[in-house]
Amino acid sequence: MNLIVTQFAQSDSGSSGLGAFQLNIKDFIIQLVTFVLVFLVLRKWVIPKLSEIMEIRRKTLEKSLEDAKAATEALAKAEAHAEEILNKARVQADEALAQAKDAGSEIVAKAETAAGERAELIVREAEERLGYERAQMVTELKKELAGLVAVATERVLNQKINEREDRVLIERSLKDIG
């Protein structure tokens, strides 16, 4: 350690002022002139171009930001318009559905009415047919009953009455029964 301290002491004793920095004035002036020349060249040709490019870039970025803002606003408007169209479409679909339900109900009601009328017609026709068949059966039963009465009367009387007297007797008997 003692060696380091003696070294500093030796170098300090021989120089003072700028010599303490161990500068060579000739080299310093050349470096200063070179620096000034490089600075002037940069200032004359490079810095204006660089400033111009930076200004163009700044304007491009500002325009891009404005365009992005306009696109965002247009997108919001388009979404609002799309939502409005969807709402209108929903309303129209609901109306169409309600109309279809009404039309369906009307058709069902008409079909029920027509089916009811058809059922009434079938019932009436069946009743008429039954009435007609009943009348035929009553007529047939009367004929059969008349025949039975005639047979019973013949057996009771043990004799055959003529046909005209048979008929009168049968009709009288039927009136009593009916």
d(CA 152, CA 27): 171
Choice among 46-50, 68-72, 84-88, 163-167 with the minimum mean pLDDT: 163-167
- Residue 142 burial class via C-beta count within 10 angstroms: exposed 0-12, middle 13-18, buried 19 and up: middle
| Distance in angstroms (rounded) separating the CA atoms of residues 56 and 72 | 24
| pLDDT band at residue 3 under the 50/70/90 scheme | low
Interval 120-145: pLDDT, tens: 999 999 889 888 888 888 888 877 77
Per-residue model confidence as pLDDT tens digits over 6-40: 444 454 445 556 567 777 899 999 999 999 999 99
Q: pTM here?
A: 0.39
**DSSP state at residue 1:** -
The band of 175, judged by pLDDT with boundaries at 50, 70 and 90, is confident
- Specify the pLDDT at position 9: 47
